[in-house]
Amino acid sequence: MGRTNLDPIMTFPDGSHLLISTACSKEGSFSCALYMATIEADDRGAFRVVSNHLAAATCLVAQEDAYSYAQRLYPRSAETMKKPPYLIWPGPGPTGNADV
């Protein structure tokens, strides 16, 4: 998966998690992706992309769009979802790696 931020939005009864990732492009636009994650007893994780969202002009708009989509995807769990703002990954640095 490379370097990215993952912020949990909710945990399902089976122990899996719905996660959101936010990134900022070099052009200054923001985008989010939703992931389903399961963590094994040995701390290995399996991640599946649920959705990618197109760029938005602001971080909060991108995160709110992803949050709204997550609420539509899982309407029975909408009340328990963590609301924005979420963690932000600034994107790759000049060498293609994240600046830390």
pLDDT at residue 4 in the model: 65
Over pLDDT 70: what percentage of the chain? 84
From CA 91, how far away is CA 100, in angstroms rounded?
10
Q: For residue 47, is it left (φ>0), alpha (ψ between -120 and 50) or beta?
A: beta
Q: Where are the beta strands (DSSP E) in the chain?
A: 7-11, 17-24, 30-39, 45-52
Q: What is the block-wise mean pLDDT of the chain (100 residues), using blocks of 10 residues?
A: 75 94 87 92 90 89 95 94 86 50
pLDDT at residue 89 in the model: 64
Look-up of token digits 């070099």: 26
